Structure 1
Amino acid sequence: MATNEARGHVTVVGSLNMDLVARAPRLPQPGETLAGHAFAQVAGGKGGNQAVAAARLGAQVSMLGCVGADPNGAQLRAGLEAEGIDCTALETSTTEPTGVALIIVDDGSQNAIVIIAGSNGEVTPATLARHEAALAAAQVVICQLETPPAAVHAALAAARRLGKTVILNPAPATGPLPADWLPLIDYLIPNELEAATLTGLPVTSPAEANAAADALRRAGARNAIVTLGAQGLVAALGEAAPQHFDAPRVKAVDTTAAGDTFIGGFAAQLACGADVADAIRFAQRAASLSVTRAGAQPSIPTRAEVGGA
């Protein structure tokens, strides 16, 4: 359990998966069978990862989502509760199994992921209505795209109506976001692949990320932050010109959940009133630590490990 003093409240609306992680020399080609050299089953899902990150990095956290009535669901719920996360708004499906993610990590620390939604698909606008108190309690609300779009939109709209700071991590991105979503979002935070999908622009460098972040802001997002892995990130904040933030240099072991660690750390800092630029730098340090460790939630550092907050 995180032991750091909580200084703000973050509510995460999103997915919880059991991650089945195989390590192999490289990612397989279509039709190819590779011999792997390690396997692990660990708690994951972008919502769960971001909730754990926010909790370990200094926030009080509530989780709003759905697990199955199966051993995986029980294990995921217990893991969140062990981190001090309020699971009052975490429902249990009577019809669908807990979501699963199949992850392959290569020796260069890159990964490929296939997600089976399972109970995550049971999160609906009615779920949000039943648990609006979890949104009302937060300073910051985080959403992703691993739950049904109608539920995500309901969460964004309710959080905006309640006056919360709203973060959307548009993952997985399959195309541009609905135009009516963008004004509901305070911080739109895609990685380079997601930014390219959202905008139709190439995003392989900080310069290209500048253009993509600016395009997302012009489309209606109040602020856009495009993460670039080892190349850092580009933040288009308010009316200011996009700014590049270098990434700390580390030896990466596994990039799984690095983006989720960034989101959780950023939200935790915003919830306690930190300056946006300081929150970005803190979250970058947290993410850089996470890639030096294997696994999703096991790799997420604590606030004390990150330091300098």
Structure 2
Amino acid sequence: MTSIVVLGSTNMDLVAYVTKAPARGETVTGRAFRTIPGGKGANQAVAAARAGGEVAMIGAVGADDFGYRLRDVLEHSSVDTDLLRTVEGPSGTAHIVVDDEGGNAIVVVPGANATVTSLTAGDEALIATARLLLLQLELPLSVVVEGAAHAHARGVRTVLTPAPAQPLPPELFDVTDLLVPNEHEAVALTGRTDPHAAALALLDAVPEVVVTLGAAGCLYVARGAEPLTVPAPRVRAVDTTAAGDTFVGALAVALAEGLPMPDALTRAGTAAALSVRREGASISMPYRTEIDAALATPESLENDPV
């Protein structure tokens, strides 16, 4: 059985590092530029694989150099790419500005991701073998709904990261078991300005919600249970680009292994804290041994980034 299947995007991240992000109409001088494999789907796949999960990826890359590199980084992270399609045209790209405080702004150009509009028979068979299906919103919404419905009908737990934030149809909420928005996405989905109120409002649509709160940790709410806030480890952030995807990938592994939700959230938060201490998306994600070591000695996270 494949523990975790990711139905999601692959992008090449084109990252400019600046002291302060430019305002509209402003030009600033950057201090560095890097091309880094990413995309929310690929990021979550790599994060889960590095955290110790058995992971397979469904999606698409372009027939270009970026596509070759994206597939290569997934395979080197031990992600099964047998159902990662190669299509004519460019791979997806994400254009990212990272400031000296670790904040970021991102423009995504879908490229090959836009061609994944429905599941193949092979996709359906693979999803049916999983414990969890991870989904995001960087693929066409039609295939996200189809994938979630197929998994839900076969008893596969569905975990949706609603990013980039957009209105979601009731049929997607109906087949989502666990929704993991950040605080801004939770507010966007509900119109509630307080993340705690937004999380509780989302329980009308889905059984469980985890709202990530950045440096403040995360909030877990579930029907019939008291809300739970799990603080984040204290670290000095260098680049927060893939923190949310690292959190979800590590959380998926913990849940697939049967950890109780409080322990799973602590583990996911520790993985995310480790990731923000390094630059980049997939390359910043910690391995299982690093997560274990940080959990054993939490004070080590407050040291300078490595």
Q: Under TM normalisation by the shorter chain, which class is it?
A: over 0.9
Whether the 8 Å CA contact 1:22–1:36 is kept in 2: the answer is: yes
After superposition, what is the alpha-carbon deviation per residue over 1:86-126, rounded to whole angstroms, capped at 9, x for unaligned? Answer: 111101112x310000000001100000000000001112x
Query: 1:90 maps to which residue?
Result: 84
Q: Which runs of 5+ in 2 are unaligned?
A: 297-306
2: CA distance, partners of 1:19 / 1:84: 20
Distance 1:284 1:198 in 2: 23
Match of 2:124 among 124, 129, 132: 132
Q: Tell me, in whole angstroms, the C-alpha distance in 2 between the residues paired with 1:98 and 1:12.
A: 18
State the match for 2:106 in structure 1: 113
CA 1:194–1:305: 2 relative to 1, 3 Å: same
TM-superposed deviation, 1:238: 3.2
Q: Which residue of 2 aligns with 1:172?
A: 164
Tell me the residue number matched to 1:34. 28
Map of 1:205 onto structure 2 = none
What CA distance in whole angstroms lies between the structure 2 residues aligned with 1:132 and 1:179?
A: 22
In the other structure, the counterpart of 1:187 is 178
Distance in 2 between residues matched to 1:79 and 1:133, nearest whole Å? 24
Distance 1:142 1:59 in 2: 13
> Letter of the aligned partner of 1:184 in structure 2?
V
User: SS of 2:239's equivalent?
Assistant: coil
**1: distance between equivalents of 2:67 and 2:151?**
26
Aligned length: 294
Deviation at 1:241, TM superposition (A): 2.4
C-alpha displacement of 1:131 = 1.4
Distance 1:9 1:160 in 2: 15
Equivalent position SS for 1:12:
strand
What is the Cα deviation at residue 8 of structure 1? 6.5
In the alignment, is residue 158 of structure 1 matched against residue 143 of structure 2? Answer: no
Q: Is the 8 A contact 1:58 1:269 kept in 2?
A: no
> Secondary structure, in 3 states, of the residue corresponding to 1:15?
coil
Q: What is the correspondence of 1:225-236 to structure 2 with a 5 Å cutoff?
A: 225-236=210-221
Cα 1:128–1:276 shift into 2, 3 Å: farther
Identity of aligned residues (%): 47
Matched, 1:99 2:85: no
Q: Which residue of 2 aligns with 1:43?
A: 37
**2:198 is equivalent to residue 212 of structure 1:** yes
- Matched position secondary structure for 1:104: strand
Query: Which 5+ residue runs of structure 1 have no aligned equivalent?
Result: 1-6, 203-207
Counterpart residue type for residue 186 of structure 1: D
Q: Which runs of 4+ in 1 moved over 4 A?
A: none
SS for the counterpart of 2:209 is: strand
> What corresponds to 1:196 in structure 2?
187
Offset at residue 128 of structure 1 (A): 4.3
Offset, 1:129: 3.8
